Amino acid sequence: MPVVKAVTCPVCGSLCDDIELTIENGRIVKVKNGCAMCEAKFLGYCCEHRVLKPMIRKDGELVKTSLKEAIRRAAEILAEANYPVLYGWSNTSCEATSVGIELAEEVGGVIDNTSVVCHGPSILSIQDVGIPSCTLGQIRHRADLIVYWGSNPWSAHPRHIERYTSFSEGRFEKSAWRGYVTKIKALVGRKKIQSAIKRLVLKKPSQISTHLEPTFVSPIMRKGRKLIVIDVRRTKTAEMADFFVQVEPNKDYELLQAFRALIRDQELAVDKVAGVPVEYLEDVADAMVSCDFGALFFGLGLTMSGAKLRNIDAALSLVRDLNMRTKFIIMPMRGHFNVTGANTVSTWQTGYPYAVDFSLGYPRYNPGETSVVDVLLRKESDAALIVASDPVSNFPHKAAEHLAENPLIVIDPHMNVTAQMADVLIPSAFVGIEAAGTAYRMDHVPIPLKKVVNPPRGILPDEEILRRILAEIRKIKKKQEAA
């Protein structure tokens, strides 16, 4: 059985490129090195929910049609529209996004990618403040302090910790895995003892404190990589941390500013900030200042809550301040595997990373006005093209409602919720499994995606479908001009 090595996993922004796939009769039968999400994708992508034939809505029902007809209908919808939105792009290749932007320019629409509902605020803030960054390889080999703020890699980027941060074996920094195992063993031991005491000595369990705080050697004294987790919930990632700061919801901004004061050795005149005792924060600030190379990763917990982009301003400023004392970098934890690529390609071609409006014939960028959710909430769009994304299940109900009312073209391999609302549905090949392409990892390193198996018959990659739609639109326009 052929084994394909060094395959890139097309699921999350970590883009692990060490996956090994065993292929049998043109199907993937075994996945090595991947996490649960990776396995689910490679083994389950060809499932019953796959769309195999192009479809068009007729009398309220989706019915099968030919590819040619579907492309013609899609082109008609877009050519007729005054202000279409073209949305998605984070789960496809850079090459497809590139054609998508050309298409948006041709039809004078708004092209936006999923970063508008995830790290959009981060991008706005980075444009204002700037960002000290580096590659994940640097972090793997050199970082001795990792901070995850408002991000739970255990669930959203399962191998991030193992490949790039705390548990990775770097050239100059060793994995903290062993220390963690010891800690967990001790914790389990403690829990067992506590429950034994509960059972044997005290019959009333409510009288003893069940709050188990691991009391170990102060993490500051410990050698090796350290992990700080700041989150509103005690996530799985938090359990591994040397320091866990449980911030009250929507209070991240206060906490960030408190850290900024603390690392400048200023005194805080309060006992608690965001529900956390200042003494504890002082310890955490000490750990930040005393590291040699720190890396702060932030997730949607920071961009989506409370002050949104102002949180990111504060986080970027904190890292800038830290760089006066030591070396520190900061990076957003990008979700979809090629959302970074969507931003990058959009920036090359239009000058702007997302929310680009071509309705005046040249690119305009004004998130809050030209961003897709706002366009939909104002009910301005009159058609939509969705590529490799599921906005109906990801957008707030009000925005999704207008999207469903628009003539809707969906290009996606799966029958997702948006596809069920489509007026034209064109199935596509899975990029990274059935089609090759390029994707950008969260640290802006471009990584090739492989084609490991053939797509089902008659199914094309996103890029090709978009090219055909674009060609068809140009044909229609030429005819109109001639007439």
Site residues for another protein per CB under 8 A: 11-12, 36-37, 40-41, 44-45, 47-50, 60, 116-118, 120-121, 124, 152, 154-156, 158, 211, 232-236, 238, 246, 249-250, 300-301, 303-306, 308-309, 335, 355, 367-368, 371-374, 377, 390, 392-401, 404, 414-417, 420-421
* Site membership for ligand SF4, residue 9 (CB under 6 A): yes
Nearer to ligand SF4, 38 or 71 (CB): 38
Nearest-angstrom CA–CA distance, 477 and 214 = 69
Listed residue (229, 233, 272, 271) closest to 249, CA to CA: 233
**226 alpha carbon, distance to own chain's centre:** 24
Q: Which one of 158-166, 174-182, 289-297, 406-414 is the stretch in contact with ligand SF4 (CB under 6 A)?
A: 158-166
8 Å CB contact between 358 and 351: no
User: Which of 34, 367 has the CB closer to ligand SF4?
Assistant: 34
In the chain, the amino acid numbered 369 is E
Q: Within 10 A of 415 (CB to CB), how many other CB atoms are there?
A: 20
Q: Taking the complex as a whole, how short is the minimal distance between the CB of residue 391 and another protein, in angstroms?
A: 10
Distance in Å, CB of 406 to another protein, minimum? 11
14 binds, among ligand SF4, another protein, none (CB under 5 to 8 A by kind): ligand SF4
Question: Do 122 and 332 contact (CB within 8 A), yes or no?
Answer: yes
CA gap 5, 2 in Å, rounded: 10
Query: In degrees, to the nearest 5, what angle opens at C-alpha 118 toward C-alphas 299 and 438?
Result: 95
Closest CB to ligand SF4 among 442 and 465?
Answer: 442
Q: Could you say which DSSP state residue 8 is in?
A: P
CB of 291 to another protein, least distance (A): 27
Nearest approach, Cβ of 165 to ligand SF4 (angstroms)? 12
Cα 285 to Cα 163, 196, 319, 470, distances in angstroms: 26, 37, 12, 54
Q: Determine the length of the chain.
A: 483
Element (H, E) at 87: strand 85-88
For ligand SF4, the binding residue among 54, 120, 150, 158 (CB under 6 A) is 158
Angle at 154 between CA 153 and CA 156, to 5 degrees: 55
Could you give the CA distance from residue 74 to residue 40 in angstroms, rounded to a whole number? Answer: 31
In the complex with another protein, the residue whose CB is nearer, 266 or 420, is 420
DSSP β-bridge partners for residue 147: 228, 296
**Separation CA 344–CA 210 (nearest Å):** 49
Beta bridge partners of 4: 21
Interaction partner, residue 9 (another protein, ligand SF4, none; CB < 5-8 Å by kind) = ligand SF4
Binding letters toward ligand SF4, positions 22-61, x by CB under 6 A: ------------xx-xx-----------------------
Nearer to another protein by Cβ, of 117 and 273: the residue is 117
Shortest distance, position 18 Cβ to ligand SF4, whole Å: 9
Q: Interface with ligand SF4 by CB under 6 A: which range of 13-21, 45-53, 182-190, 342-350?
A: 13-21
List 411's β-bridge partners, or say none. 387, 426
Residue 158 has which token pair?
A: 């399962």
Nearer to another protein, 125 or 291 (CB): 125
CA distances from 38 to 9, 224, 419, 480 (A): 6, 30, 23, 47
Smaller CB separation from ligand SF4, 15 or 273 = 15
CB closer to another protein out of 151 and 340: 151
Segment interacting with ligand SF4, rule: CB under 6 A, options 4-12, 99-107, 296-304, 449-457: 4-12
Q: Does 157 sit near ligand SF4 (CB under 6 A)? A: yes
Shortest CB 312 distance to ligand SF4, Å: 23
CA distance 40 to 279: 44
Place of tokens 């800690």: 183
From 364, 216, 394, 372, select the one nearest 300 (Cα to Cα).
394
Instruction: Provide, rounded to whole angstroms, the least separation between the CB of residue 231 and ligand SF4.
Output: 19
Q: Cβ-count burial of 118 within 10 angstroms (0-12 exposed, 13-18 middle, 19+ buried)?
A: buried
Count the site residues for ligand SF4 by CB under 6 A: 14
What is the three-class DSSP state of 36?
Answer: helix
Q: By C-beta, is 154 or 328 nearer to another protein?
A: 154
- Closest to ligand SF4 by CB, 407 or 437: 437
16 binds, among another protein, ligand SF4, none (CB under 5 to 8 A by kind): ligand SF4
Q: Which does 34 bind (CB under 5 to 8 A by kind): another protein, ligand SF4, none?
A: ligand SF4
Closest CA to 23 of 51, 42, 49, 37: 42
* Binding-site partner at residue 67 among another protein, ligand SF4, none, CB < 5 to 8 Å by type: none
Ranges within 353-382 binding ligand SF4 (CB under 6 A) = none
User: With binding defined as CB under 6 A, does residue 136 bind ligand SF4?
Assistant: no
Query: Which CA distances in Å does 293 have to 158, 225, 263, 327?
Result: 23, 10, 15, 5
Nearer to ligand SF4, 35 or 392 (CB): 35
Site residues, ligand SF4 (CB under 6 A): 9, 11-12, 14-16, 34-35, 37-38, 157-160
